[in-house]
Structure 1
């Protein structure tokens, strides 16, 4: 029996592990290649919209975009660890990497939830929500979310620094990272994983499902234009699908592991879909939004205008130079 860099125990089958390594690298590589440009574009579009008018949902979407972008930027470390089959950096970087990696995953979950809550309040209680809808409240909510996520990361750091735990949780040498758990470590780790899944996934999932279900119910029965109804339903279904398919398997592994009182071999498999969320958020969530669609059109028109102005200046400059050369030749 061997333990991989993700902390899951498996029976070592060379062909299967080689195929699994390729699949992991393809998923992480695709996430990096798609997630980096799409999140940068989404962040720029949302920033342009926020300069015109700041709304609570725009603040949440900026935070969500930043979370996904940070997740994507540290993926090369994961790809390096998967490719080499071990952790080649010092143990401190393993702990820091896991704090950022898992922290951004759960931060994305929370920001997806508060966006859904904002849309629910705007649809079901439009008048009351307009009275209390202030950007400063959204900034405060965002700060609370980052604090909660950071608290769980600090908790893992405390466990890492506990001398009674051996080998250490994250990296006891340069070959392993967050792996080779003893029974004593699993006794501490399993309840923490369960608490993470309940507080930062299953509870937000229930809130998100309720909010979007209520939004769909109200919008379908309203006098809104059919096309706008379809767009709203499409956004709701897409968001819930990403929520469940990306984050569900990994958090279910926490619950099953707690019930069985052991680490699961398929935990690393369940972690892969959560990586896909980083590029699915912009593709499915941002770009299905009317506001962002309008923002992309405005940005595109602005870029076209700047390019046309630049070409005109260049042509005028060349025209003046040509006229000057003709004048000199005549003289």
Structure 2
């Protein structure tokens, strides 16, 4: 196993250790807030958490594939894993865009947005995002199964999948990757940049309290940076691969920042916002109250047990 495989395993392990608890906590916070007052952005953030959690839960399969122990991968695992692994990367990008559009409409058109700011619309948009990304994955599988079985894309050998493509395979695969990048990354990137730059311009010129203004601008800038630096390199490799008609060696390197997005979302996007700060505080206070209640019940039960034992001891 080479140095790059070791680095990748370390990065993926860190993503699991950091991303699993942070996304689970963020999901619980948003769920608690949604029970009190459901908003469109909460729906998008809940879906974003779910997408990141699904990505992280399937990440051990990637580590097994890259690990030093050869694991014969069942034939059905590779297509399923690739659909989930690459699909959740693009669903995360699309839900980040949906949050940005919601914030843009709320900041630039606050009155008109209230008319259409209904959770049912956000649920339909979320369903549409999942269907859009899922249909692209299923389309690849449909095109693949329609071709000669000897040119399969998803199982180069028994221990790895979706790697080491031949020139004939790249003729089919390069346009598909380009279409994925254009529809599911570059278009959302343009929309996200427009929305957050517009939000920043509105916030800077607003009469909002200076502390809240700085926090909102910080969240907007951090979200844009995460979007560009996490998803950008991987999708640029698709464009370069289409131009050169080859599978670039640095594509696996560019995939690592996309994976890092799974724990950067809650660390940067969620926990920089005041709404989540309040939510985490409420969760902490709720857990403390439950812990105190359990201790009180145990103490009362213990006291009752002692009171029942004392008379028999005196007799």
Interval containing the TM-score (normalised by the shorter chain):
over 0.9
Deviation readout 1:60-96 (Å, 9 max, x if unpaired): 0111000000000000000000114866212221111
Name the SS for the 2:67 alignment partner. Answer: helix
Deviation readout 1:37-76 (Å, 9 max, x if unpaired): 1111111111000000110000001110000000000000
Determine the C-alpha separation between the residues in 1 that align with 2:259 and 2:287.
32
Shift of 1:154: 0.7
Determine the C-alpha separation between the residues in 1 that align with 2:284 and 2:26.
13
Shift of 1:188: 1.3
The 1:165/1:325 distance shift into structure 2, 3 A limit, reads closer
Normalised by the size of structure 2, how large is the TM-score? 0.96
Shift of 1:262: 1.2
The reply on whether 1:200 has 2:184 as its aligned counterpart is yes
The 1:204/1:87 distance shift into structure 2, 3 A limit, reads farther
Corresponding residue pairs, total:
315
Determine the C-alpha separation between the residues in 1 that align with 2:165 and 2:308.
79
The reply on whether 1:118 has 2:119 as its aligned counterpart is no
**Residue pair 1:59, 1:135 contacting (<8 A) in 2 also:** yes
Shift of 1:214: 0.7
Shift of 1:225: 0.5
2:127 to 143, 152, 155: 143
Counterpart of 2:22?
38
Determine the C-alpha separation between the residues in 2 that align with 1:330 and 1:86.
70
Counterpart of 2:164?
180
Name the SS for the 1:288 alignment partner. Answer: coil
Shift of 1:165: 5.5
Determine the C-alpha separation between the residues in 1 that align with 2:127 and 2:226.
24
Determine the C-alpha separation between the residues in 2 that align with 1:234 and 1:209.
14
Deviation above 4 Å: which 4+ runs of structure 1?
none
The reply on whether 1:324 has 2:308 as its aligned counterpart is yes
**Residue pair 1:91, 1:172 contacting (<8 A) in 2 also:** no
The 1:282/1:46 distance shift into structure 2, 3 A limit, reads same
What runs of 5+ residues in structure 2 fail to find an aligned partner?
none
The 1:85/1:316 distance shift into structure 2, 3 A limit, reads closer
Using CA pairs below 8 Å that are at least 6 residues apart, which structure has the higher relative contact order? 1
1:274 to 254, 258, 274: 258
After superposition, the CA RMSD in angstroms is 1.5
The 1:126/1:174 distance shift into structure 2, 3 A limit, reads same
Counterpart of 1:133?
117
The reply on whether 1:154 has 2:143 as its aligned counterpart is no
